[in-house]
Amino acid sequence: MDRLRRDMRDLFDRRQAGLGAVPDAGRHLMQGAMARREEPMDRRAQMIAGIAAAVMAVLMVATLAYIRFGATRPEGPVGVATPARTAEPTPKQTAQPTPASKPSPPAEAPPGKVVYDVDVAGPDQGWILLTNCIEPMTGTCQYFVAATTTGGQTWSAPVQVGGQFDPADGGAPRHVRFINASDGFAFGGTVAFVTHDAGRTWAQLDPNATFYTTIEGQGRRAWIITWPCAKAAPCSYQVSTSADGGRTWSKPASLPAGFYPYRAVAFGEAGLLLSSESPGNLEITRDGGATWAGIQSRCTGNVLESVVATSEGKELWQLCLDYPDANSAEAKRQLWVSVDGGLTWASRVVSQVGTMQAANGYFQVMAAPKADSLVMASNQSGMTITHDGGRTWTGVGPGGVGFQSIRFVSAQLGVAVDVTHGIWVTTDGGDHWSQWPADTSAVTAA
C-alpha cells in the first residue's frame, strides 16, 4: 500500500514538473500494482481502478499543456521529495555558501528554452527559471534565471545557475524562490544556489544535505528543509533557518520521526507551517524555529494530499484529498479551518470553479492572503476565493486553465502560475488577476 502511494505521488510530481513519459509511467505503475501481492485482492482492484482514474486526469492536463507549449515541454526526472525517489548523490561537505571566485558572465541563451518556475517580489519585479532541457535532448542541460522589473514587459539576459547537468539528473534546479527583492534561491533535489543581488550572480548553497525538499521564506527569513542521510538510512528530515537572507544558517533541527514534509508555508518574519504526507499531520513554529508544536491532522489515513495555508500562523487551513475510490465519481475532498492555531477545527464546503473543473481535481493549491481569506485552485480548475472563512466562494481569475501554484508575498500581492507556466499577478488580495506578457522571445531566443 505504501509503495503504491509513493509511486502514485511520484507520478503526479513528474507530471506537475512537465517531465517524463506519463503514459508509459502510468502503464508501468498499474502493471506493477497488478503484480503485487501485499494487498488483499479486492483492495488491490479498488486501488488500481482509482489509480487509472487519476492517471487519466493527469493525461488530460498533460495534453492541454502540450498544446499550449507547442510541444516544447521539459524532459528528465523531477527532483525528489523523499529519498526513495532518486539515486543517491555524492554527499555534500561544506555547510555555508561558497562564493564563486570570479562571477561568470551571463551564458548565451540557447534556442528553445522554456519557463520552469516563477516568483515575484513586487507587482513589477519577478524572476523566471529557464531550461534548455527539452526534446529532443542532446548533450547536457543548463538552467538560467532571468529577471524583470517591468512586469514581464522586458527581461534581463539569462544568468546560468550551476554548471552542466545530465538529462537524467533528477536533482537539477527545479524551483526559484525569492524572499525579498535581493535574496533568492534556485534549487532542485540535490543542488541549491543563493543570490544576494537580485539574481545577477549565484553561489552554491551547501548545508551538508543529501536531498533538498524545499526552500521558503519572507523578508529576511529563509527556511530550508533537507534530508541529511544517505538513501534508505534511518533518519529524520531537518529544518534550518536564516535570519539574514541566506548568508548564515542555524544548526539543523530534526522533525519528528515519520514526518515527511509535503507542503511548507512561511509566514511573517519567524513562522513556518509544514504538512506531512499521509496522514497529513502538521508542525508549526512561530518563533524562528526555537520551539515547534505538532498538530493532529483532520485528514483520514487514506490521504493523498494534505495542503495547508496560513497568513499569520493563527488561522490555519488544511485541505485533505483522499486517494481515488473506484466506487465514487470523485475523490473525497474536505476543507478544514482553525482560528485558534489548530486547537479546534471547523469543516467548510469545498467550492471549485472554472471551466476545466474535473471529477478528480488532483494537485490542489491554495494560499491565504489575510485572515478569513483563502484562494484555491487545482491543476484542472480555475481560482476561487473566500473572504468569510470559507462559508461562501466566488470565482476569480482566468477560466479555461488549471494552476500549479499560488503564493502571496503580502496581503495584497500574489502570484499564480498556471499549468502552461503562464504568470498571473494580483495586487488586491486575490480578487482580480492579470497576466504578465506571455511572449518571452527576448529571453528564449539565441
Across 92-112, average pLDDT: 39
Asked, for residue 56, whether it belongs to a domain, the answer is yes
Has residue 377 been placed in a domain? no
Report the candidate in 266, 292, 298, 252 with the shortest Cα–Cα distance to residue 279: 298
Dihedral sign for Cα atoms in the order 163, 166, 169, 174 = positive
151 with 111, same domain: the answer is yes
Residue 161 sits in the same domain as residue 196: yes
For residue 329, what pLDDT is reported?
Answer: 52
With residue 25 as reference, give the H or E element that holds it.
helix 22-35
Model confidence, pTM: 0.74
Is 418 part of a structural domain of the chain? no
Asked whether residue 13 falls in the same domain as residue 60, the answer is yes
pLDDT at 380 (0 to 100): 83
CA distance 220 to 164: 30
Average pLDDT over residues 98-122: 59
Q: Would you state the cell numbers that stand for residue 45, as one nine-digit string?
A: 482492484
Whether 123 and 208 share a structural domain? yes
Number of C-beta neighbours around residue 3 at 10 A? 12
Residue 422 in domain: no
- Tell me, yes or no, whether 115 and 243 share the same domain: yes
Whether residue 46 is contained in a domain is answered as yes
Residue whose C-alpha is closest to residue 13's, from 83, 86, 78, 82: 78
How confident is residue 83, by pLDDT bands cut at 50, 70 and 90? very low
Q: What is the pLDDT of residues 344-387, one digit of tens each?
A: 999 998 755 443 344 445 678 999 999 999 999 988 888 999 99
Instruction: Please give the tally of structural domains in the chain.
Output: 2
Instruction: Give 218's pLDDT tier (boundaries 50, 70, 90).
Output: very high
Range of the domain at 119: 75-254
Instruction: Let me know whether 6 and 115 are in one domain.
Output: no
- pLDDT range class, residue 34, cuts 50, 70, 90: very low
Which pLDDT score, from 0 to 100, does residue 52 have?
39
pLDDT at position 328:
57
Mean pLDDT of 188-201: 96
- Is the pLDDT assigned to residue 29 strictly greater than 90? no
Residue 352: its pLDDT value, please? Answer: 52
Among residues 208, 229, 254, the one where a domain terminates is 254
Q: Is residue 297 part of a domain?
A: no
Same domain for 242 and 100: yes
- pLDDT of 65 reads 32
pLDDT tens per residue across span 50-65 = 333 333 333 333 333 3
Q: Which neighbouring-strand residues pair with 372?
A: none
pLDDT value of residue 330: 58
**Is the confidence at residue 180, as pLDDT, over 50?**
yes
Residue 237's pLDDT is 94
Final residue of a structural domain among 234, 254, 274 = 254
Mean pLDDT calculated for residue range 267-277 = 93
- CA-to-CA distance for 217 and 69, rounded, in angstroms? 30
Q: Are residues 153 and 173 in the same domain?
A: yes
The answer to whether residue 102 sits within a structural domain is yes
Q: Are residues 12 and 123 in the same domain?
A: no
Apex CA 36: angle with CA 32 and CA 37, to 5°?
170
For residue 226, name the pLDDT band (cuts at 50, 70, 90): very high
Q: What is the pLDDT of residue 209?
A: 78
321: pLDDT confidence band, cut at 50, 70 and 90?
confident
Mean pLDDT of 144-173: 92
Mean pLDDT of the chain: 75
First to last CA, the chain: 48
Query: pLDDT grade, residue 229 (50/70/90)?
Result: confident
Query: What confidence score (pLDDT) does residue 327 get?
Result: 63
How does strand 423-426 pair with strand 434-435? antiparallel
Distance CA 214, CA 226 (A): 7
Domain boundary among 195, 229, 254: 254
Q: Is there a domain that residue 215 lies in? A: yes
Q: For residues 60-72, give the mean pLDDT.
A: 30
DSSP for 295-306 reads E---S-TTEEEE
Residue 431's closest CA among 378, 390, 395?
395
Write out pLDDT tens, residues 397-419: 787 888 989 999 999 999 998 88
pLDDT band, residue 73 (cuts 50/70/90)? very low
Do both 97 and 195 map to the same domain?
yes
The string of pLDDT tens digits covering residues 236-271 is: 999 999 999 999 999 999 999 989 998 999 999 899
84 and 124 assigned to the same domain: yes
Nearest to 417 by CA among 438, 431, 441: 438
Q: pLDDT confidence of 32, banded at 50, 70, 90?
A: very low
User: Do 65 and 101 belong together in one domain?
Assistant: no
